[in-house]
Structure 1
Amino acid sequence: MRKASRLFEIIQILRLARKPMTAAVMAETLEVTVRSIYRDIAALQAMRVPIEGGRGIGYIMRPGFDLPPLMFSIEEMEAIVLSLALLERTADEELKQAARRVNRKISGAVPAPLRQAMDNKALYAWGSIAQPAGFDLAIVRRAIRDERKLMLGYRDELGRASERTIRPVALIYYSQTANIVAWCELRQAIRNFRSDRVERCATAEDFFKGDGDRLRELWTSGWTEKPVAV
């Protein structure tokens, strides 16, 4: 187990302990040496984690201490790093900016051993980058949250233009484009709309409050079938 993950696990053990925990017991639980536990306890105390006790009597966490909200294991931190890198490959500019802010906030809040997982540039998201859509994908995400209808000017794969009023329920990000999953009022069915074929996108005055979950269930119930192209 890596040191950053071990520090996290020691904090978890001591937070849940009802009596002092000896280094030997923690070493057995984490499958490391007792000497490693002593070094880790000293490192945590240096980071002002309120651990009290000593060799021979055990250690306990002072009451009232809780983990900061940005305390992750090393594997969780690597998952965050890769997720943020994948967002950089989408065409959603608002989400890309948000990902950069998240990166800065986490880097400034986590302990130094975890910060290295964000700064060592060892994980990459490779492949093609999605082309920018002709409209702001943030409009779609807000409409999904607000359960508000959208009006689309849409052109299908054969180049045929149509006007659609849709009830958006999900947004799927692919490497080349994004798909809007929605109930199409023209077709009276769930349809997928490629963002690179959307010529106009605007919010409508009408809402579909309380119907989003039902439409998502309708969509997922058809996953065993081939998606219908529009």
Structure 2
Amino acid sequence: MSRSERLLDLLQILRGHRQPVSGQVLADRLGVSIRTLYRDIATLQGQGADIQGEAGLGYVLKPGFMLPPLMFTVDEIEALVLGARWVARRGDDRLGQAALSAQARIADVLPQALRDEMAASALLVGPGPGPAAVIDPAMIRAAIRAEHKLAIRYGDAAGALSDRVIWPFAIGFFDRVQVVVAWCELRDGFRVFRIDRISACSDMATRYPRRRQALLKAWQIERDIAPPP
């Protein structure tokens, strides 16, 4: 394990404890000497981590510390690159541009060695664009963030159109289609709508009566779906 990976592991261990953890316990978890542990604590404090405590009393990480990008492991860099490349190919234009912009921002603050790893990533995303959406999916994402009702016109597999008022709370990305998961007022229940079959969509600027986290949890329970990690 490299030192940067060990420092990352140390932060993750501290994040998992609300009460002070003794230096010896931390050293044992990391498989290092107590002297090395003290040096690692000092390094993280020097990088801005608000770690409070001292030898003999234990250490605790105060909330709010953002992990510096230079602490990413090579595997984490590859995961970020693969995710950004997938979104750039399979997401809508706005989401794709945001993914590429985020990737460039991360690269700008990485050390040269990790920047080279990012540029040379061999994890590729093949072509496979799905049906083009008639509406702008960004409108749905904005409604989810604001917890707003949407008025949509939807065409089923047979082409029959219906007007619905939905409470959108999640979007699912599949290889060829995107779907919005929502509570449908017309059906008085959860429904999944293919975004490419929505021919009209307008934000009603009205908040729906339940929090989207509660809707998502209820839908997962109904469908027996494990929550994402």
- Verify same fold: TM over 0.5: yes
Partner Cα distance (1:202, 1:155) in 2:
16
Query: Using the alignment, how far apart are the partners of 2:167 and 2:10 within structure 1?
Result: 49
Note the residue ranges of structure 2 that are not aligned, 5 or more in a row: 15-21, 33-37, 50-66
Residue 210 (structure 1) shift: 4.1
Aligned residue in 2 for 1:50: none
Cα shift readout 1:142-167 (whole Å, capped 9, x = no counterpart): 11111100010110001100101100
Residues 12 and 66 from structure 1, CA distance in 2 versus in 1: closer, same or farther, beyond 3 angstroms? Answer: farther
Contact 1:14 1:59 in 2 (8 A): no
Residue 54 (structure 1) aligns with: none
After superposition, what is the alpha-carbon deviation per residue over 1:92-147, rounded to whole angstroms, capped at 9, x for unaligned?
A: 22111111111110111011111122101411012412333111111111111111
| Mean CA deviation greater in 209-218 or 131-140 | 209-218
2:144 aligned counterpart, secondary structure: helix
CA separation of 1:115 and 1:150: change in aligned 2, threshold 3 A: same
Aligned to 2:134: 134
Task: Give the aligned CA root-mean-square deviation in angstroms.
Answer: 3.0
The 5 Å alignment of 1:142-181 reads 142-181=142-181
Alignment equivalent of 2:47, drawn from 45, 57, 65? 65
* Separation in 1, partners of 2:142, 2:9: 41
The amino acid across from 1:104 in the alignment is A
Bigger-Rg structure (1/2): 1
Q: How far apart, CA to CA, are the structure 2 residues paired with 1:157 and 1:124?
A: 33
For 1:107 and 1:220, how far apart are their aligned partners in 2?
Answer: 36
Equivalent residue number for residue 8 of structure 1:
4
Q: Distance in 1 between matches of 2:73 and 2:155?
A: 46
TM-score for the superposition, normalised by structure 1: 0.71
Once the two structures are TM-superposed, the CA of residue 216 in structure 1 deviates from its matched residue by 1.2
Q: Which has the higher contact order (CA 8 A, sep 6+)?
A: 1
User: How many residues get paired?
Assistant: 188
5+ residue gaps, structure 1, are 19-24, 31-57, 226-230
Distance 1:59 1:215 in 2: 46
Task: List aligned pairs for 1:21-40, cutoff 5 A.
Answer: none
After TM superposition, the score normalised by the length of structure 2 is: 0.71
Give the aligned partner of residue 221 of structure 2.
221
